[in-house]
Structure 1
Amino acid sequence: MKQDAHAAPAETARVPAQTRSEEAAVRGPGPGYATDAPSARGEHTHSERPIPQPRPAVQRASVRGQILDALRTALVSGELAPGEVYSAPALGERFGVSATPVREAMQQLALEGAVEVVPNRGFRVVERGARELAELAEVRALIEVPVMMRLARNVPAERWAALRPLAEESVRVAATGCRATYVEADRAFHRAVLALAGNEQLVQIAEDLHRRALPLRGTRAGLMSDAAEHLALLEALIAGELDAVRALVTGHFADAG
């Protein structure tokens, strides 16, 4: 039928604001989806409300990060036992979140070698024997001892002295006997020392090895002995006593295995 040229123009359709899921449902994946509407071409229409920034994605990443930290703590403390299999839904229920951020965090832990995927069941906590821990300690020593000796010859005493609060914090945390908290204090000290080399790749590799080599000496006395070595090493570095530095840092990794 021929349209009357004097007829009033059709009223523009008002498109209500949609959530991302609603928008995806309307848009559809098929090639036959119409793109005539201004909103479909990415143009602004006065009937639209501003679309908020994608904060849910940021919040999801934040939740995943929190769950990752919580899982690492549970692994170090022994709450998640070596050799046991845990499902993402069960862990999600424990932490009060959905299975998705737990699964994503567990996949990260699998990349780090802390857990392994068990198809259709979940994730098994890796059980490291004494030999594997000794091998990891040897690798850490091969990387960190030469770097430490180079730094001992080149870094001025005042920069070493600036790390004393970190060493003292590791001693304070060790006295509590909390393995999970001590692991973080220990990592912070070693990271600060290696950061003086100015090589971020070195720091990342060392941290990965640190995560894989959870401390065998889990008693309060063992943690305090480990932390005391931090202070002794730092004092030797400040004094420029290279032989003492080599003996302390080599012994530190030997004890870790």
Structure 2
Amino acid sequence: MTPSADKPPGGPVKQGVQGSAVPQSAARVPAQQRPAARTGESARERDGAVPAAARGEHTHGERPVPAPRAAVQRSSVRGQILDALRTALVTGDLRPGEVYSAPVLGERFGVSATPVREAMQQLAQEGAVEVVPNRGFRVVRRGARELAELAEVRALIEVPVMLRLARTVPGERWAELRPLAEETVRAAATGCAATYAECDRAFHRALLGLAGNEQLVRIAEDLHRRSQWPPVRQSRAELVADASEHMALLDALAACDIEVVRGLVAEHFAGAG
């Protein structure tokens, strides 16, 4: 308790909860003889001038609310840094082959090195960076062959699922995905690779989600992320063409046109490679 919180001797008389006067002697009790103040407790609360229920203390018949844990806030910061690093990877601000240290990146984002290091470790698990002992993290290099292999694996997983969904999912369910497909078109029109990459993943995630297999969605998205790092340079026109395939695919799926679906997804993944 700070000295400024104590009323000097001879000061005005305090008022009790019911308006009754509190003897001035109570205000003159030496600080060392008073009960220890709880965190965030004012002198008025400690001396009983505020009812327990009014100051948020536990009363009979009422369960105490658990205090939020500090880890929640740190996790939030880590998540924000992870998103920022993913964007930097897609835009090319973090260049393939370069090594970046957590302290330097922390200064760049205005945070400590800890959330940056945790986010980088997550990116290492996703295959975007690799750990360089005593130095930091190196952004991975992927050649045309590796990108083509990722596209092939994605096609092996996603194409059969899409063909099965085309036969089993009612047409109105495909209409629910149209806003996501339209969002990819708008993102492509901006020419921003990072924005388009995020919208593209959201569309594919929602489409595959109709299969009801969470493991499938998780694996497919991991492959999708890997195929986007480092980014393949595409013009605005190429991004728009890629996004327009989403709209055409939805139309074919709603019409249950299996051959058109097969051709569109084959072309889509060929372009991804």
What TM-score, normalized to structure 1? 0.80
222, 226, 229: which is aligned to 1:208? 222
User: Is 2:154 the counterpart of 1:140?
Assistant: yes
Aligned sequence identity (%): 77
Q: What is the CA deviation profile of residues 170-195 of structure 1, one whole-angstrom value per residue up to 9, with x for unaligned ones? A: 00110000011101100010011000
Give 1:17 shift: 5.8
User: Is 2:81 the counterpart of 1:105?
Assistant: no
Residue 190 of structure 2: aligned partner: 176
Which whole-Å CA distance do the structure 1 matches of 2:87 and 2:234 have between them?
Answer: 13
Which whole-Å CA distance do the structure 1 matches of 2:121 and 2:83 have between them?
Answer: 13
245, 253, 262: which is aligned to 1:246? 262
Instruction: Tell me the secondary structure at the aligned position of residue 254 of structure 1.
Output: helix
- Report the residue type matching 1:250 in the other structure: A
Give 1:15 shift: 6.8
Give 1:14 shift: 6.8
Instruction: Tell me the secondary structure at the aligned position of residue 174 of structure 2.
Output: helix
Q: What is the CA deviation profile of residues 8-58 of structure 1, one whole-angstrom value per residue up to 9, with x for unaligned ones? A: xxxxx977768xxxxxxxxxxxxxxxxxxxxxxxxxxxxxxx997243210
User: Is 2:242 the counterpart of 1:234?
Assistant: no
**Is residue 137–residue 213 contact of structure 1 (8 Å, CA) maintained in 2?**
yes
Superposition map of 1:86-101 within 5 A:
86-101=100-115
Q: 1:202 to 1:51 in 2, by over 3 A?
A: closer
- Report the residue type matching 1:254 in the other structure: A
Residue 143 of structure 2: aligned partner: 129
Which whole-Å CA distance do the structure 2 matches of 1:228 and 1:247 have between them?
Answer: 14
Which whole-Å CA distance do the structure 2 matches of 1:17 and 1:132 have between them?
Answer: 60
**Is residue 118–residue 124 contact of structure 1 (8 Å, CA) maintained in 2?**
yes
Q: What is the CA deviation profile of residues 86-137 of structure 1, one whole-angstrom value per residue up to 9, with x for unaligned ones? A: 0000000000000000000000000000000011110000111000000000
Q: What is the CA deviation profile of residues 219-254 of structure 1, one whole-angstrom value per residue up to 9, with x for unaligned ones? A: 212211110111111111111111000000111111
Which whole-Å CA distance do the structure 1 matches of 2:189 and 2:267 have between them?
Answer: 21
User: Is 2:173 the counterpart of 1:159?
Assistant: yes
Aligned Cα root-mean-square deviation (Å): 2.1
212, 218, 224: which is aligned to 1:198? 212
User: Is 2:200 the counterpart of 1:186?
Assistant: yes
- Report the residue type matching 2:80 in the other structure: Q
Instruction: Tell me the secondary structure at the aligned position of residue 104 of structure 1.
Output: helix
Which whole-Å CA distance do the structure 2 matches of 1:189 and 1:88 have between them?
Answer: 32
Aligned residues: 217
User: Is 2:109 the counterpart of 1:66?
Assistant: no
Instruction: Tell me the secondary structure at the aligned position of residue 139 of structure 1.
Output: helix
**Is residue 217–residue 223 contact of structure 1 (8 Å, CA) maintained in 2?**
no
Instruction: Please list every run of 5 or more consecutive structure 1 residues that lacks an aligned counterpart in the other structure.
Output: 1-12, 19-49
Which whole-Å CA distance do the structure 1 matches of 2:138 and 2:67 have between them?
Answer: 38
Which whole-Å CA distance do the structure 1 matches of 2:106 and 2:177 have between them?
Answer: 38
Which whole-Å CA distance do the structure 2 matches of 1:223 and 1:101 have between them?
Answer: 33
Instruction: Please list every run of 5 or more consecutive structure 2 residues that lacks an aligned counterpart in the other structure.
Output: 1-33, 40-63
Which whole-Å CA distance do the structure 2 matches of 1:218 and 1:113 have between them?
Answer: 22
Superposition map of 1:45-84 within 5 A:
53-84=67-98
- Report the residue type matching 1:138 in the other structure: E
223, 235, 239: which is aligned to 1:223? 239
Which whole-Å CA distance do the structure 2 matches of 1:52 and 1:92 have between them?
Answer: 31
